[in-house]
């Protein structure tokens, strides 16, 4: 997790800024916001608490927006000209992960798309995009929409994430409807006094929920949730180590405008109909990579010993040939060892293959490893 480089623009604050400060959080610049990187508990313990019980994250810096048209078919068709996912066949209340693509098949951003469950919301799609890319995304989408479909950003909304094996029990005590959701589904429901949009999803590999609500109520909901001992506030530091162990991409590191979804190992997010019919930016490249394989592949890497391999570390073959680069790396608290992800030439991507990592000018031994490093524990039951 890298802090945002210095900028002349003043940093923004989420509706929960005062809550973080009151809890003793260390605040850092991130994606144009002042965000908590850790609380007094510390990154290591925050990470392990999330895996063992549950963590509460402020992700209100993310972009939330609605795509609005006269009916679902029209709105879905408009979005399908920009992303490779099957949006048309989304059922009410279903959520899908996908990518905004440029004409070369590179990833402008990755995002979540939800078809609201309520019949009154037919024709709407709810989008959640990355904080660092939301201005780029909104401009990209708005410039490419047909007449009759519009983008409506929702900056007045906050977003909280509850992640961990105890998340369902904690939330069910306040909102019984939430426990009936399965992974990648969503519904509107009340949590106490708050009208919320709740999805069973997240970015840690754990079961959990993301809760969108008007920012004016965010502080009260945050305080209400943290009355439960099983739930602790978690900062960006542990969020990053959790997603790395789960083998999940971070935009600007593991994926960017030069990376295709197939290189990144995200082919699973392109459904059968879209694979065959195309109709999205970069479809020729992506269909070719699906048929023949990409020239490079995102892989897991397990360094030997205790020295972590950070982003930018060169990956070499045992004979010294440069075959790739690390895009995310650090210490994995749950596996109690360093872990990394990166790209290597396709001929070097098989699991178990020995490689060397250039760390502080020394070639350290490592091996290509399966992803994720920690098994996902999503709730699949209806």
pLDDT of residue 267: 98
∠233-236-242 over CA atoms, to 5°?
90
Q: What is the pLDDT at residue 6?
A: 45
How many C-beta atoms surround the C-beta of residue 66 within 10 A?
17
Do 127 and 82 contact (CB within 8 A), yes or no? no
Q: Identify the pLDDT of residue 381.
A: 61
Cα dihedral: 297, 128, 105, 140 (round 10): -150
d(CA 371, CA 298): 10
CATH 2.40.30.110 positions along the chain are 295-369
Neighbours of 124 (CB within 10 A): 18
Q: Would you tell me how many other CB atoms lie within 10 Å of the CB of residue 9?
A: 8
pLDDT at 380: 82
CA distances from 29 to 43, 135, 164, 313 (A): 17, 17, 26, 24
Spatial distance between the Cα atoms of 360 and 86, rounded to a whole number of angstroms: 45
What is the pLDDT, as a whole number, of residue 87?
Answer: 98
Measure the CA–CA gap between 330 and 292, rounded to whole angstroms: 32
Mean pLDDT by 10 residues, the chain (382 residues): 57 98 98 98 98 98 98 98 98 98 98 97 98 98 98 98 98 94 97 95 98 98 97 98 98 98 98 98 98 98 96 97 98 98 98 96 96 96 54
Structure tokens at 51: 């895996």
| Alpha-carbon span 301 to 346, nearest angstrom | 14
Contacts 24+ apart (CB under 8 A), 124-127: 124/66, 124/67, 124/68, 124/75, 125/66, 125/67, 125/75, 125/76, 125/79, 125/87, 126/64, 126/65, 126/66, 126/186, 126/197, 126/212, 127/63, 127/64, 127/65, 127/66, 127/67
pLDDT at 225: 97
Instruction: Determine the angle formed by the axes of helices 43-52 and 236-245, rounding to 10 degrees.
Output: 50
DSSP letters, 303-323, are ESSSPPPPTT-EEE-TTS-EE
DSSP state of 120: G
3-state SS class at 96: strand
pLDDT in the model for residue 1: 53
Predicted pLDDT of residue 9: 79
Residues 120 and 71: beta-carbon distance below 8 Å: no
Selecting from 3.40.50.2300, 3.60.21.10, 3.30.1360.120, 2.60.40.10, what CATH number does the domain 17-60+156-245 have?
Answer: 3.30.1360.120
Is residue 83 within 8 Å of residue 105, measured between CB atoms?
Answer: no
pLDDT recorded at residue 192 = 87
Residues 6+ apart with CB under 8 A from 245: 205, 332, 333, 334, 335, 339, 372, 373, 374
User: How many residues appear in the chain?
Assistant: 382
Cβ–Cβ contacts within 10 Å for residue 95, how many?
20
What residue spans in the chain does CATH classification 3.30.1360.120 cover? Answer: 17-60+156-245
- Cα 142 from Cα 148, distance rounded (Å): 12
3-state helix, strand, coil split of the chain in percent (to 5) is 25, 35, 40
CATH of 295-369, one of 3.40.47.10, 3.40.640.10, 2.40.30.110, 2.30.40.10: 2.40.30.110
DSSP three-state, residue 272: helix
């Amino acid at each position: 997790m890298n802090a945002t480089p210095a900028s002349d623009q003043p940093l923004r604050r989420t509706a929960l800024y005062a809550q973080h400060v009151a809890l003793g959080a260390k605040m850092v610049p991130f994606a144009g916001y002042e965000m908590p990187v850790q609380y007094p508990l510390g990154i290591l313990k925050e990470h392990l608490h999330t895996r063992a019980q549950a963590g509460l994250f402020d992700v209100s810096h993310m972009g939330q927006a609605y795509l609005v048209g006269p009916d679902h078919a029209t709105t879905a068709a408009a979005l399908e000209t920009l992303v490779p996912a099957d949006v048309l066949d989304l059922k009410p209340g279903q959520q899908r992960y996908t990518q905004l693509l440029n004409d070369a098949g590179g990833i402008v951003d990755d995002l979540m798309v939800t078809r609201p469950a309520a019949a009154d919301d037919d024709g709407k799609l709810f989008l959640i995009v990355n904080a660092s890319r939301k201005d780029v995304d909104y401009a990209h989408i708005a410039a490419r929409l047909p007449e009759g479909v519009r983008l409506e950003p929702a900056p007045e909304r906050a977003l909280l994430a509850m992640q961990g094996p105890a998340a369902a029990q904690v939330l069910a005590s306040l909102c019984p409807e939430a426990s009936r959701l399965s992974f990648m589904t969503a519904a509107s429901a009340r949590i106490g006094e708050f009208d919320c949009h709740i999805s069973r999803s997240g970015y840690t590999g754990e079961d959990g929920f993301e809760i969108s609500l008007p920012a004016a109520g965010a502080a009260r909901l945050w305080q209400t949730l943290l009355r439960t001992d099983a739930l602790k506030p978690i900062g960006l530091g542990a969020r990053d180590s959790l997603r790395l162990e789960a083998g999940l991409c971070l935009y600007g590191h593991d994926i960017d405008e030069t990376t295709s979804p197939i290189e990144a190992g995200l082919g699973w997010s392109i459904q059968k109909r879209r694979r065959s019919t195309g109709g999205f930016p970069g479809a020729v490249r992506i269909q070719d990579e699906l048929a023949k394989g990409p020239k490079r592949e995102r892989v897991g890497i397990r360094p030997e010993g205790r020295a972590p391999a950070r982003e930018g570390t060169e990956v070499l073959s045992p004979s010294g040939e440069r075959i790739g680069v690390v895009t995310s790396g650090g210490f994995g608290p749950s596996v109690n060892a360093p872990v990394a992800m990166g790209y290597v030439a396709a001929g070097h991507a098989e699991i178990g293959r020995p490689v060397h990592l250039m760390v502080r000018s020394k070639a350290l031994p490592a091996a290509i490893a399966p992803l994720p490093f920690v098994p996902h524990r999503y709730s699949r039951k209806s």
